[in-house]
Amino acid sequence: MPESKYPPVALPDHPYATALQTYCLSFDAAYEDYPWGDIVYKTGAKMFAATGPSLPLRVTVKATPDDAAVLTQFPHIEKASYIGRWGWVTITIDDAATLDQARDLIEASYALVAPKRRRN
């Protein structure tokens, strides 16, 4: 796991923040990095999820542009700032149902960016 050249960022004070972190780090070769003052989950040099240190608890993930168009129909999902034009979406996690959906989307995001040998 590469060592971050940025100072660590604390998780937001939210009951689901640790569950989100644990899930992101459960993927093969996943690690945390802290560019931009955010918590970014990567495999290799590629980001597959990101969250910030403040509330509300949100996670940004990669989706295909077609999937992103459908996902943004949900009231708790929006096109991500700055990177939304490439299919990235941001999910606001308010309850167990949105956390479960975020986990599914994190898994799909990881599959989009991870090298083929890590996807199985």
Q: Note whether 110 and 102 are within 8 A (CB).
A: no
Question: What pLDDT band is residue 68 in, cutting at 50, 70 and 90?
Answer: very high
What is the tens place of the pLDDT at every residue in 36-49? Answer: 899 999 999 999 99
> What architecture does CATH give domain 17-114?
Alpha-Beta Complex (3.90)
pTM of the complete model: 0.91
| Residue 82: half-sphere exposure toward Cβ, Cα within 13 Å | 3
Q: Exposed/middle/buried for 8, CB within 10 Å: 0-12, 13-18, 19+?
A: exposed
- Cα–Cα distance, 44 to 10 (Å, whole number): 22
Report whether pLDDT(4) > 90. Answer: no
Domain ranges of the chain: 17-114
